[in-house]
Structure 1
Amino acid sequence: MNRIGKRWLIILFMIALGALSTYEMRQLKIGSYFKAQVGTDSPYVETEKQMMEEFAIRDLLLVAIPIQDNDHTLQEVITNIRQTKGVSLVINPLQFPLTLGKPSIAHRLGLIGEYNGDRYAIALIVISASNPESVSKSIFQATSGYNVKFFGSSFIGAMALDYISMILRNLSALAIAVIFCVFFYRLRSLAAAALSFAPTLLATFYLLGIYAAFGKQITLENVLMPFITLVMGSAASLHYMSHYLSLNVSNPVERAEKAFKEVSIPILMTTSTTVIGFLSLCITRSPAMTELGLSGAYGITAAGLTTFAFLPPLSTFVKAHIPVSQSDRVDLFFVENRKRNLWIFLIFATVISLFSFSVKREFHVLMFFKQNSEVMAGAQIVRKIAGVTVPAMIRVQFDIDPISSEAMSILQEIQQEVQPFSMRTISILDLNELFPDFLKNLAFLSIPEGLFINRHSNSAMMMVFPKDSHSQTHRDLEKRLQTIKLPHLEKISITGENYKYLEMNDRVLKSQSVSIFVAVAVITLMMIAMLKSFKLGLLSVIPIVVTLINIYGFLGLFKIPLNVISAYILNIVLGAGIDYAIHFMYSYRKKLPSPDTLIRTVELTGKSILANAVGIGLGFSVLLFSPMKVHVHIAVLMFIAMITASFYTLFFLCGIARSNS
């Protein structure tokens, strides 16, 4: 502990690391969103890869352009789009080839219509570039002054990249302000709040600097890493500083040494259990969840290391002494009403658990975005006018020429089979509508290779727009395709963003129980070892296990679907919620066999546990301002889960404890 007396040296070292990290952060890159939903062994990934090799269409971007009589806006927008690099085809709905601009064709194809009293024309943009998100972003910027709306997978990805940047830039600053206010309210000292928050804040900078130095991108999978580090990693700092302020030791170095000695074990335990909660996500069979788990574990580990290394020396600058308050109404509520509270715990937990039966599994691309976002604004317009949602891509393999009359008949049959599950389809058959009958054969021969057909591989592609985003609709569509058996039809395969999300959801939820079981087992063994009691170790994990069960109930109560994101919350809550039992039981065990063990334990830990739960909940509540709907779900669930875990811990452990030794 000699480092405690070398506080100025520690400060210089922290500043140097902070400056280096800030310098490296200039190279921090924002990456794509959820590009690795599933592994390369997925049939959807295999089909997608095959289609990328055979067809020139990387994405079909739909642009909703407001039109009026004698308005040149449409033509100006189309001109700007055609000048964008990476665009291979632009279809103006009012200027189809050989149709003399008859709007009836556009109406029949669903490319002109009204939405909320405004008339729109839907331009079809075929993107062939290898980076369609970048092309969509360029189109969005080139048409920014025309009040147009966009929809397409590439546009969703482009907006996700913008949202990630906004989250890092704006919401991180807001989270810092909220957590600092929580520290100040709990410690009642500006200096103590600033110094105790400094290691966690610097840990966030260090981690971002490391990401930048090694070229690791910030994506939708790990964008919450700064929040996790700030919000959850700061718990150890708050616990240490609270204990430091409660000690009545005149020498600051001796005071820091005593505080560190008394809280180092529970802090090490809480940091380790939180890391284990995140690492358990790596057991799932999803690259995205593995990235989520690793990024969270990195953040908590960095916060724990900086707290252990830097906070004890920094705390010696704080002279204030805030003794542990004597029993007040809060403490007495948990002790004197412990039997009643135990019944409240049992009844409330049972009632909430009943709602778990109404939980529904659902996961698709549009679940990520709020209704007022740019993505959903465009999605609503094109769905209403053109009948277009997030597409499924069908690859049709023939044993004949894909532009032969037999192949066209097969495509028509497939189109009819998928009709009950779709709003519309787009394929070579739709291009057929653009030409008079006497020119159809000539037109087919002039179609560029890779535009809906590939004559080298005897294959064709069809874009199917499901009638809704529900998982069951997509499964029914896939099952129907598997039943189609026709002459000259070798194989039908399907892929799409929503299918990859469905597979990721199924894989994660199937392995979720295993990851939770492993994490609970490891944490239980750690509790038994720390408390040196098999009985106390088992009892200490009951509140958090019940909390995990109740999270399913809260999902049903608030109609939040069960998916990868909500499953992610279980592992976070397990790792963070067990902290309350660690602090309570460690203090309780140390004070045995004192005749006032329970009340002294509650005095020391009760309000700190509640303050920590509120602090974490408020920290995550910053995500309510995120443009991502899934982040709102995380904010709501984390606030409820942490408050629930804190009260369950105090209600249950106080309820089963005896008021004396």
Structure 2
Amino acid sequence: MNAIKKAQSATNVFARSWANFVIRFKWPILLATLVLAMGLGSQGNMEFDGDYHVFFSKSNPELEAFDALQEKYTKDDNVILVLSPSNGNIFTKENLVAIEELTAESWNTPYSSRVDAVTNFQHTSADGDDLYVDDLSYESSLKTEAEILEIKEKALKEPLLVNRILNEKGSVTAINITVRLPGENINEIPGEVTPFVRNMIAEFKEKHPNFEVHTSGLIPMNTAFFEASQNDMGLTMIMLIIVIITTFILTRNIWSTLATLVVVLFSIISAVGFVGIMGIKMTPPSAVFPTMILTLAVADSIHILVTMLQKMRNDGLNKVDALKEAIRLNFMPVFITSLTTVIGFLTMNFGDVPPFWDLGNITAFGMAMAFLYSTTTLPALMAIFPVKSKVKKEETKVRKNWYVGLGNFVVKQPVRLSIISVIVIGGLTYLATNNTFNDEFINYFDESIAFRTDTDYIKDNLTGIYNVEYSISSGESGGINNPEYLKHLNAFEDWLNEQPEVIHVNAFSEVARRVNRSMHGDDESFYRIPDNRDEAAQYLLLYELSLPFGLDLNNQINVDKSETRVTVTVDNINSTEMIAFSKRGEDWLRDNTPQAMHAMGVSPTLMFSKLGFRQADSMLKGNIIALILISLVLMLALRNFKLGLLSIIPNVTPVLVGFGIWALYKAQINTGMVIVFGMTLGIIVDDTVHFMSKFLRARRELGYDAKQAVVYAFETVGKALVTTTVVLLAGFSVLSTSPFALNSYMARITVIIILAALIIDFILLPSLLILTSKKTTEEESTVAQVIFHK
């Protein structure tokens, strides 16, 4: 017992000493924290990186395979311009001239290496033994109606054009601009390529108003990521205004609102400094850190302020005594909730998506600083400000009665409420298993983003924007001219075309067939793979020599002609279907071709499709560690193994409930939602810790029985829990409006989880405390006083 008393005394001495120290040296502390915040903020350097590669770690096997493929061929960073004339016919003199002009201008795009269009398509024809390779339509202004009709007939019969550059009706066409970015700075896309393309499109539409222009491709996707980052940063100001208004309404005190504002600003400024010091570049997921910190930092301040104002209004304490009491009563609970929140966000580092590592680390640092400022800057400011609070007995009584009434409702029927809670939670947990992963990167953006609407238009009117690529090796230098290789490649192309998901297949076997036909006087019977290797090699050489600069076969054939690239364009299928399709292709190659031709399907689409599954697998370990660590923290803080173990229930079940409700709402989970368990686990501990702290205080210090202690907890901490929940809901609701689905979906399910946490902590937790408190020993009760002694 002596040890217990010493620990209890040490805790009380520390709490009182901290409160006295901060209040006594309020001006030096305020100045010191100001210098600290400004010093950290001066190191801030906010750079944005919109490259989709940032979503993949360097060890990601799909990224490694994709980069290896691009090293063999040309990189396919591209801009797709899709043109839709108002007359619904590409093949008119006026429209072909316009397409020619835009194609020529597209070559001026910064870092452009290739431009593919219907007009400059390299059409092969024969005249005796001579092979001619020409633009399908050049100098279109000089063409006759008959010539244009002939061009249309050729184009609509060309497999390499239809469903790729041209739709089957000839009413929509595309210009594909391939760029080779040096990768020397992050402004190559947002500062050079994108502004040029947008200006080019604006000038084209002004000159040719009869055309609609839609853009897609990897460059516009990167731009959309970049702009989403900046847009979500802009949500911070909206959230700041909401927090100010919400805090003022709930505390009804201008000085507490101002002090809270200072704390959250200091926390965000410090986090910005951390970003600069660590050299972190902003991405759409990590760019929401100001909103995250702002929202979470308010919770720390609210508990201290609400307790202080309650002591002044209800108990008649003066400002200084009320402030000391608020610090002493809330220091340890606030520390615990801050620590568990930091642990939760740090578990994001177990995932496989680097932007979420950054979000976790920045927010964890910001929350650590928020704890520091809420226990130093906040009380210092409140000690300085002329805070006054009139006791309003009638309003106080009504407010107390509401929470007391809820407490009395719970204590009358703990068994019934526990059973109902278990049934509801069990049912929603079962529903949660119906959620499926779907990481279609197009659906990362909502319809307010031009990239999304343009891409949907292209999908509906021209071609798919999802693809899978295979690099098919022959096993020897020059082996792509081997007739056996070409026959296997041709069979693979035919098999792919038979698959229901496939829109278009671009394979070298099509080039080999087309050139073979042209070299035999355009005889359709020779539209097949050449029978002789030397003949195939000669045809290929002749064809390559006839191609103009920039339109060669480097995007399909590697340098030593030992491998060719097969690009399969597919419908906008979901992640599971995309992975299954790629696997079918790999299996077909393994079962029907020599070992050298076995290949792995790769593409950005496939990488994103596998990202959610990879993130879920890697986060599982992190979530388990977070749960164990947070449980241990609570057990140590409560000094009670059983109650610490019991606290896991109200901390885990809100997540299960959240995903169960989500199954009714969307039933699809993306990469951003995988981190929700670890992230919210730390956040929702706040409610549990503060409710349990007041329950334990009533039981062990005031001598209340379990039911009286529950009512006491409702009365003393109910308002603070509702207040912090409202602020958290406001913050994440603002974030849920983001047009970037990784952030908005994460925020929406977090809103559900936070609300579920409050309900569970008001219904299930007190019921469980009542049902299990009989087994709590006197000695355990005495030990727990160490933390929560009055």
TM-score between the two structures when normalised by the length of structure 2: 0.77
Residue in structure 1 matched with residue 562 of structure 2 by the alignment: 458
Aligned partners of 1:632, 1:39: CA distance in 2, in Å?
A: 23
Per the TM alignment, residue 332 of structure 1 is displaced from its structure 2 partner at its CA by: 0.8
Quote the residue 1:96 is aligned against.
121
Q: Which among 168, 181, 190 is matched to residue 245 of structure 2?
A: 181
Does residue 164 (structure 1) correspond to residue 229 (structure 2)? The answer is yes
For residues 23-64 of structure 1, give each alpha carbon's deviation from its aligned partner in whole angstroms, at most 9, with x where no partner exists: 554x42001355244444443223222223221233243211
User: 1:235 corresponds to which letter in structure 2?
Assistant: A
In structure 1, the residue matched to 2:649 is: 542
Q: In the alignment, what sits opposite 2:668?
A: 561
Q: 1:83 to 1:281 in 2, by over 3 A?
A: same
Q: Give the one of 519, 527, 543 matched to 1:438.
A: 519
Partner amino acid, structure 1, of 2:181: A
Q: 1:586 to 1:337 in 2, by over 3 A?
A: closer
Aligned residue number for residue 329 of structure 1: 402
Change (3 A) 1:214 1:73: farther
Paired positions, count: 657
Select 1:611's aligned residue among 718, 723, 741: 723
Residue 177 of structure 2: aligned partner: 125
Aligned partner (choices 223, 229, 232) of residue 293 of structure 2: 229
Match status 1:583 vs 2:656: no
Residue among 477, 485, 492 paired with 1:414: 492
Q: Helix, strand or coil for the counterpart of 1:493? A: coil
Quote the residue 1:154 is aligned against.
219
Q: Deviations over 1:422-480 (max 9, x none)?
A: 22123445667997813964223456463211132612222222223322322232322
Q: Give the AA of the match of 2:292.
A: I
User: How many angstroms apart in 1 are the aligned matches of 2:216 and 2:511?
Assistant: 20
Question: Structure 1 residues 337 and 19, CA, compared in 2 at 3 Å: closer, same or farther?
Answer: closer
* Cα distance in 1, alignment partners of residues 444 and 386 from structure 2: 44
Task: Give 2:768's aligned residue.
Answer: 656
CA contact (8 A) 1:200 1:303 kept: yes
1:349-383 Cα shifts (integer Å, max 9, x gaps): 23322312322122231231113321222212222
Q: Are 2:446 and 1:370 equivalent residues in the alignment? A: yes
Q: CA deviation at 1:652?
A: 1.4
* CA shift digits 1:94-151 (9 cap, x unpaired): 3434254213444452334499xx9532112222224484565244333341352212
The answer for the alignment partner of 1:84 in structure 2 is 109
On the 8 A contact 1:47/1:395 being kept in 2, the answer is no
Identity across matched positions, percent? 17
Residues 1:432 and 1:164: Cα distance change in structure 2 (over 3 Å) = farther
Q: Helix, strand or coil for the counterpart of 2:80? A: strand
- Alpha-carbon distance in structure 2 between the residues aligned to 1:8 and 1:106: 79
Q: CA deviation at 1:574?
A: 1.0
Q: Over residues 552-579 of structure 1, what are the superposed CA-to-partner deviations in whole Å (9 max), with x where a residue is unaligned?
A: 3123111241343222111122111111
Structure 2 vs 1, CA of residues 114 and 56 (structure 1 numbering), >3 Å: closer, same or farther?
closer
- Once the 2 structures are TM-superposed, how far is the Cα of residue 622 of structure 1 from its aligned partner? 0.9
CA distance in 1, matches of 2:490, 2:227: 40
Contact 2:480/2:561 (8 A) holds in 1:
no
Q: Do the aligned partners of residues 384 and 241 (structure 1) sit closer, same or farther apart at CA in structure 2, a change above 3 Å counting?
A: same
1:403 CA drift (Å): 5.0
Residue of structure 2 equivalent to 1:258? 325
Identify which range, 177-186 or 438-447, moves more after superposition: 438-447
Q: 1:444-483, aligned counterparts within 5 Å?
A: 444-445=544-545, 448=552, 450-456=554-560, 458-483=562-587
Gaps of 5+ in 1: none
- Distance verdict in 2 for CA 1:525–1:43, change over 3 Å: closer
Matched residues in 1 for 2:102 and 2:356: separation?
40
Distance 2:512 2:75 in 1: 18
CA RMSD of aligned residues (A): 3.0
- Answer yes or no: is the 8 Å Cα contact 1:38–1:503 preserved in 2: no
TM-score, length of structure 1 as denominator length = 0.91
SS at match of 1:85: coil
In terms of mean alpha carbon deviation, does 380-389 or 339-348 score higher?
339-348
1:392 aligns with 2:468: yes
Q: What secondary structure is seen at the aligned counterpart in 2 of 1:492? A: coil
Q: Which moved more, 1:225-234 or 1:430-439?
A: 430-439
Find the counterpart in structure 2 of residue 279 from structure 1. Answer: 346
- Structure 2 CA distance, aligned partners of 1:641 and 1:384? 37
Tell me how far apart the structure 2 counterparts of residues 568 and 610 of structure 1 sit (CA, whole Å). Answer: 25
Equivalent residue letter for 1:364: E
- Asked whether the equivalents of residues 52 and 225 of structure 2 are also in contact (C-alpha less than 8 Å), the reply is no
Residue 612 of structure 1: how far off its partner (Å): 1.7
In the alignment, which residue of structure 2 is the partner of 1:208?
272
Segments of structure 2 that go 5 or more residues without pairing to the other structure are 1-17, 87-91, 123-133, 138-150, 206-211, 521-538, 775-790
Work out whether residues 404 and 714 of structure 2, in 8 Å CA contact, stay in contact via their aligned partners in 1: yes
Bigger Cα displacement from structure 2, 544-553 vs 158-167: 544-553
Mean CA deviation greater in 234-243 or 66-75? 66-75
Contact 1:221–1:292 under 8 Å retained in 2: yes
Counterpart residue identity of residue 86, structure 1: Y
2:198 is matched with which residue: 137, 141, 148? 141
Aligned to 2:712: 600
Relative to structure 1, the CA distance from residue 579 to residue 122 in structure 2 (aligned partners, 3 Å threshold; closer, same or farther) is: same
SS at match of 2:767: helix
Q: Which moved more, 1:118-127 or 1:434-443?
A: 434-443
Q: Which amino acid aligns with 2:518?
A: D
Letter of the structure 2 residue corresponding to residue 641 of structure 1: I
| Aligned 8 A contact 2:651 2:684 in 1 | yes
Task: Give the drift of 1:655.
Answer: 1.8
User: What's 1:404 paired with?
Assistant: 481
The counterpart of 1:383, out of the listed 441, 452, 459, is 459
Specify the alignment match of 2:506 in structure 1.
426
| 2:737 maps to which of 611, 622, 625 | 625
